[in-house]
Structures are given as C-alpha cells and as structure tokens.
Amino acid sequence: MSDTVLIALIAVIPSVIAAITTVVTTLASNGKKERKDIQGQIKDSNEKIAKRIDDVEDELKNCIVEVDANLQNHIEIDRKISMVLLRHNIDQMYDKFMERGYITFKEMEEVEETYQAYASQGGNHIGEEKYKAIKRLPRKEDD
C-alpha cells in the first residue's frame, strides 16, 4: 500500500469511530426508550388486571349475598313446610289413637320423635296438647 492510501485510511478512522459511536449511542438510547415503553405497557396491563380482579371480587360478593338470601328464603320455606307436615302427622296420630283408645310402644316412639321435631321447629301449644293427650293413653304391646 502506498503511503498516500495509508494516510487517507488513518484520516478516515476518527470519522468511522465517530459514526460507530453515534450508531451505538442511538441503539442504546432506542433500547432504553423501548424498555421504558414496555415497562409502561406492563404497568398499564397490571393496573387493568388489578381493576378487573376488583370488579370480579365485587361481582362474586354480590352473587354470594344473593345466593345467601335465596338460601335463607328456601330454608324458611322448608321450615314452614316441615311444620305443616309435622303438625298434620300429629293431628293424624291424635285422631287415630284417641279413637282407638290406646297406643303401642312402637307407635309412641314415633309420636315422640314427630313431636320433638315439631317442637324443635317452634311448634305451637296445640301440637303439645295433642302430644300430651296421646301420652296419657294406655299402652299395649306391639303386635
């Protein structure tokens, strides 16, 4: 190589280094900007997810309150139905055993179980009076 070419190459080296430095600096700057953009997007996504989770929690709480109210309503309806059926059973047993004039030991067990269930549901004094009247009947051995 001639000296002239060598001198020309040496003269160009600072410009090439400056150009490379500019490119690297630009790439690094763009990388930082992209990282900040990505971090911003992640932050926005996290905030949206947190808001959605809060919304879902609120919806679930409302559903739970509604289900609980429905459940309590059904429990009350079932309690009333049980009371009616138990009172009817006591009435039927009363009529049968009072007309017959006696009760077997096994039948008395059934009467006691029915009355206890009725009383535990808040049964009234009429059921209690019929139960006491049945208890006063003479007992006979089971067939």
- For residue range 53-74, list pLDDT tens digits in order: 888 888 888 899 999 999 999 9
User: At residue 124, what are phi and psi to the nearest 5 degrees?
Assistant: -90, 180
Give the model's pLDDT for residue 5.
65
* pLDDT reported for residue 135: 95
Question: Residue 132: what pLDDT?
Answer: 95
pLDDT at 74: 94
Alpha helices in 101-124 (DSSP H): 105-120
Long-range contact set of residues 52-59: C-beta below 8 Å, sequence gap at least 24: none
Q: How many C-alpha atoms does 105 have within 13 Å on its Cβ side?
A: 4
Low-confidence ranges of the chain (pLDDT < 50): none
Q: Is the pTM of this model over 0.85?
A: no
pLDDT at 130: 95
